[in-house]
Amino acid sequence: MAILVTGGAGYIGSVTVEALEAEGYDVVVVDNLSRGHREAVADDVPFYLGNIGDRSLIQRILNENPITACMHFSAFAYVGESVEKPQMYFENNFVQTAALLDELIAGGVMRFVFSSTCATYGEPHTIPIDEKHSQNPTNPYGWSKLFVERMLSAYDNAYGLRFVALRYFNAAGATATRGERHDPETHLIPLALKAAAGEIEQLSIFGDDYPTPDGTAIRDYIHVSDLAKAHVLAVSYLENGGESDFINLGNGDGYSVREIVDVVSRVVGRDVPASLEPRRAGDPSRLIADASRAKTVLGWQPEFPDLESIIRSAHLWRAR
């Protein structure tokens, strides 16, 4: 019995592989290393280099390993890039996922944990956002993930695929050994840390004309270890016969870009040089989770909900 983790060399995937191993699961990773890092996966974890849409590769993995469930992390996940290169997002995140699902179902792997996103909601009309909130994404990234959600529901109905689609809010922070190392980096917290360290000249603040108290956009930041823990709970929920579900993962607290800048500067003990820039295309103004379903359905409890601890963990990891 083993779990196939796609994108296991990426940020959230690699932390989850660690968490699965700590719970005694056997793990197999497939990753094309387009954005991940080979060294983020321990040497004793079986590793397959390639695309999730490569049907013969997936067939080979299923033939060579006793896979009973798949956690699907691999995807492109930059809102701004998705607006500029939608073709790349729909091909990688949707078309390749369809091929992966075909091969899993053909191979009898009927449990699937999917990395979905709060970007599937679009601009919210109620805060906090619960899972019944309407879904009308403001960018191709969100649509590429929503298409997969719709496909999963249809496959449950037609083929009996059982899934948990976890709608992440903003993943942040690090464990002692795994953290965020995107290239190029586009996320707020790592860029603010780089600006504080003098590694980049300044942080760009994308827009201060949002309908929020300080005019900058608000997000709900969740520690990557808490995300990983929810994945382990989701797979065990499916193993125990749980029904397919869509579940938010966030802390229920919203912080503006300017608040993040303040906390980063407090944690690092240095100013974060910043300049004001126009809004980034595709960004909603405010995304805050109602994560009560994660607690009631999965029994999830965040261990590191405090923003300062989240940012400190990212800082420590960068400085290791």
Binding site for ligand UDP (CB under 6 A): 79, 170, 186-188, 191, 203-206, 217, 219, 257, 280, 283
Residue with tokens 């296991």: 8
Check 11, 48, 89, 141 and give the catalytic one.
141
DSSP state of 126: S
Smallest gap from Cβ 275 to ligand UDP, in A, equals 10
Nearer to ligand UDP, 32 or 170 (CB): 170
Nearer to ligand UDP, 114 or 206 (CB): 206
* Residue nearest to ligand UDP according to CB distances in the complex: 217
d(CA 111, CA 162): 5
Smallest gap from Cβ 102 to ligand UDP, in A, equals 29
d(CA 176, CA 56): 36
Nearer to ligand UDP, 177 or 275 (CB): 275
Smallest gap from Cβ 199 to ligand UDP, in A, equals 13
d(CA 175, CA 313): 7
Q: Do strands 218-219 and 255-256 pair parallel, antiparallel, or not at all (unpaired)?
A: antiparallel
> Is the previous residue joined to 184 through a cis bond, with omega within 30 degrees of 0?
yes
d(CA 26, CA 22): 10
d(CA 15, CA 2): 17
d(CA 20, CA 202): 37
Smallest gap from Cβ 258 to ligand UDP, in A, equals 9
Catalytic status, residue 48: no
Nearer to ligand UDP, 217 or 232 (CB): 217
Q: How far out from the chain centre does Cα 195 lie?
A: 24
Smallest gap from Cβ 104 to ligand UDP, in A, equals 27
Nearer to ligand UDP, 79 or 174 (CB): 79
Residues whose CB falls within 8 Å of the CB of residue 288, separated by 6 or more in sequence, listed in order? 127, 128, 129, 169, 218, 219, 220, 250, 252, 253, 254
Q: What positions carry a catalytic annotation?
A: 141
